[in-house]
A and B are shown apart, each in its own frame.
Chain A
């Protein structure tokens, strides 16, 4: 199975909104609502931010939102804050009953 495709890096200024894309195939992102997003700060374990494409776990800021269209999913962070600077990974369930992660995107808050 091939990793989902994410941009290597994105950046934005405090207060702005940014979107991270995640491109898969008809065997994963396109045909399933099971896309999740993880935030990882340096030296820390990943943290679940979005699941089932659009849902936020309890305690995750409403500034984080997810969406999907066709083979691609997106994570949008609005009102960018310094603490949002981290690596972000998308993940999808696949038709083979497996999971596949994206390569990760480094978010820099300018």
Chain B
């Protein structure tokens, strides 16, 4: 049974860097069949795609966030991570990690983690 679990600080100060890790269990992040991604949802608002990556290095970004996003994969720990720099209150959201089929859809999602940016 595939499971994804987000982890990281729930509170980040404005102008600092948000860092999250997604731990995958029940499947290998090195699987050639799948991609891995991040999606966020501000409180009371809709979903926003952040990025999708392949373990060998291909990465696709939301153009509006690309300049602030850094992603990486740790195959030894079966994890992938997200860093979002220079955060503001607008980055307050529930952040989800998910498994993707190429970058066309996400079939398994983590439960999400709320990150609040404080001033």
Contact = CB atoms under 8 A, between A and B. Distances in A.
Nearest to B106: A48
B15 interface: no
A46 B109 contact: yes
A34 B39 CA distance: 17
Interface stretch (A16-24, A67-75, A76-84, A96-104): A96-104
A52 B105 CA distance: 8
A36 B104 contact: yes
A45 B47 contact: no
Contacts of A104: 46-47
Contacts of B62: 1, 98-99
Q: Quick one: which of A47, A99, A100, A103 has the most chain B CB within 10 A? A: A99
A11 to B, nearest CB: 19
Which bracket fits the contact residues of A?
A: 20 to 34
A25 B63 CA distance: 17
Contacts of B63: 1, 96, 98
A93 B47 contact: no
A36 B105 contact: yes
Contacts of A91: 47, 49, 105
A51 B105 contact: yes
How many chain B residues sit at the interface, stated as a range, is: 20 to 34
Nearest to A102: B46
A52 B47 contact: no
Contacts of B111: 45
Interface in B48-65: 48-49, 52, 60-64
Contacts of B52: 99
Interface string B84-119: 000000000000100001011111011110000000
B34 to A, nearest CB: 13
A91 B39 CA distance: 12
A89 interface: yes
Contacts of A52: 104-105
Interface of A: 1, 3, 34, 36, 38, 40, 45-48, 51-52, 57, 89, 91, 93, 96-104
